[in-house]
Structure 1
Amino acid sequence: MRMANEIVQLLVQSAGSWLFEGHRSGLSDREWMALRFLALANRFSKTPTALADFLGTTRSAASQIAAVLLEKGLVVRKSSAEDKRSITLCITREGEKFLERDPINALRDQLVTLEVSDLSRLRDTLRRVLVRLDVAERRHHTDVCNQCMFLVENGGGKDRHFKCRLFRKSIAEKETTLLCTYFEARS
């Protein structure tokens, strides 16, 4: 228990470097979370509903957060290519530039100095902890496509291609590393 408390304290300290800063960088913590999510989300998860699911909030609250990002020119609304009745929230060039100043980059820059084996263990351990937390809280877990049971890989070499069985859509290999709110872990 003592080590678990120490780890929690270290996580809180690391969060202090990029969270709880109020509007010092021009965005609230929730707005930063939304912008980061939209920058890392796959095309199926760039909707107001998916954003609300990721933030663990109502669609109305997520829409208010999106409105701030729209007002600041960091995101734009586009008609969904998949369903014309839906909208997609896309990061603008200004949003990409803004993310270069993201306070969380300092933590990322320290992480990249670790050995690959340490990074892999840390990633896998944090993933297991987050999955358990989501299960305990009855939240839907968001994760990357390449860990999802719906991802199907066919072919090899130059003929290699991917498909999401849930959406019945082909997806590019680069999309397999993006976040999806419809994620289901492989058994």
Structure 2
Amino acid sequence: MNKLINQQLLERLASLLRSESRGMLLEHGLQPVQFEALQYIANCNRYSDTPMAVTDFLGQTKGTVSQTLKVLEKKALIEKLTDEKDKRVTHLKITEAGRSITQHMLPSPILKTASDHMNTDEVAMINSSLHTLLYQLQSANDFKPFGQCSSCIHNTKQASGEYLCGLTQELLTPNDVQLICREHQYS
């Protein structure tokens, strides 16, 4: 495996996706970091929907994320809710307007068009390879995985069809296990 070629290919793909994204974001008056935060909030679970989790996920400073969240809130794309049990904790929820933007932009139209020209096995192979690369990159560099509960060591399926988070001892729905969690650990 030629690591330099892998990096060049990934960078070129990322460049094309960013270029398309910038144009689409102009329609909504958003910067890329604001959309990344919005996308994360749209896909994270109830344990991971805090400003600190957004900061960790994006790898940005608290100040940058704070300003980003203010813009998203001012544009009514997210709302801040105080935790019912612990009033010191703030949760972030995407609004219908925010969800509309993420659904409009994802999946990327250029990526969807390219994928439509590939067969199911090719798409599955790429997804598997990228998942493996991401896992190895996170593992080798001690990065938090922020993965879906469905692939987490703490997740167990119950006879009822629901899932149990072994870390929190709380039941999860089938929808919950598809969301991103900051406590994720690969099984």
The normalised TM-score by structure 1 is 0.85
Question: Is the 8 Å Cα contact of residues 46 and 88 (structure 1) preserved in structure 2?
Answer: yes
Structure 2 stretches lacking a partner, 5+ long: none
Say whether residues 1:180 and 2:174 are aligned partners. no
Q: What secondary structure, in the 3-state scheme, does the structure 2 residue paired with 1:170 have?
A: strand
For residue 26 of structure 2, what is the aligned residue in structure 1? 24
**Cα RMSD for the two superposed structures:** 2.3
Q: Give the letter aligned to residue 109 of structure 2.
A: A
The 3 A distance-change label for structure 1 pair 164 and 84 is farther
Q: What secondary structure, in the 3-state scheme, does the structure 2 residue paired with 1:62 have?
A: helix
In the TM superposition, what whole-angstrom CA distance separates every residue of 1:96-155 from its partner, at most 9, and x where no partner exists? 122233275214423652333222222221122112222333321111110000101111
Say whether residues 1:45 and 2:48 are aligned partners. yes
- State percent identity of aligned pairs: 25
For residue 59 of structure 2, what is the aligned residue in structure 1? 56
User: How many angstroms apart in 2 are the aligned matches of 1:70 and 1:82?
Assistant: 23
Question: What pairs with 1:90-101 in structure 2 (closer than 5 Å)?
Answer: 90-101=93-104
Q: Give the letter aligned to residue 19 of structure 1.
A: R
In the comparison of the two structures, how many residue pairs are matched?
Answer: 182
Q: Give the letter aligned to residue 143 of structure 2.
A: R
The 3 A distance-change label for structure 1 pair 104 and 19 is farther
Q: Which moved more, 1:99-108 or 1:32-41?
A: 99-108
Q: Give the letter aligned to residue 147 of structure 1.
A: S
User: How many angstroms apart in 1 are the aligned matches of 2:71 and 2:168?
Assistant: 30
For residue 6 of structure 1, what is the aligned residue in structure 2? 5
For residue 79 of structure 2, what is the aligned residue in structure 1? 76
Say whether residues 1:118 and 2:122 are aligned partners. yes
Structure 1 stretches lacking a partner, 5+ long: none
